[in-house]
Amino acid sequence: MRIGVVLALNARQLVRNMSPILKFLGEFDQSQILVWTGSGELPIPRRTLQTIHNFFEKEDLNDRIGFDCKVSL
């Protein structure tokens, strides 16, 4: 039995500083990240989601990022 590791990251905090997360993903190359917004939190703007997505896509890591976020229209 093998156990993977997912890093759970709040979208609002992640968008402030995304570069350090690359170190984790580089260190554990089977890991993923899951970006979330909390139940009591306002939805994030779509551009925030896009910024995060673009950053990791640029690093060719978009297959290792998932989103569980409420997004405002």
Partner 1 sequence: MLQKSKLLIYVGRRRNLKYVTFVFVLVVVTCFVFMKSGFLHEIVPEKSVQKLPPPPKMPSSFIRNVKAQRLLPQADQKWEHSVVTRSRLYDILHKQNEYSEKVVTAIETDVLRGSYIANLNSVHRSPLRAKPNEELVPILAHPPKKASDLSVDLFFDMIFSCRGKCDHKHIIKLDFKENDIVLPTLESLNIHYRRTNEKKARASKNNVHVFLNADVLPGPGKTAKEVNIDGDKLFNAVADLMVRNKEGLLGLQLSFSLGWTIDHRACGNGYNSSLVDDMIQLVRKHQNLTDTGTQYKSLYMLD
**CB of 38: closest distance to partner 1 in angstroms?**
6
**CB of 1: closest distance to partner 1 in angstroms?**
5
**CB of 42: closest distance to partner 1 in angstroms?**
9
Task: Choose between 21 and 49: whose C-beta lies nearer to partner 1.
Answer: 21
List of residues contacting partner 1 (CB under 8 A): 1-10, 12-17, 19-34, 36-39, 41, 59-61, 63-68, 70
Which class for 72: exposed (0-12), middle (13-18), buried (19 or more C-beta within 10 A)? exposed
SS3 category, 18? coil
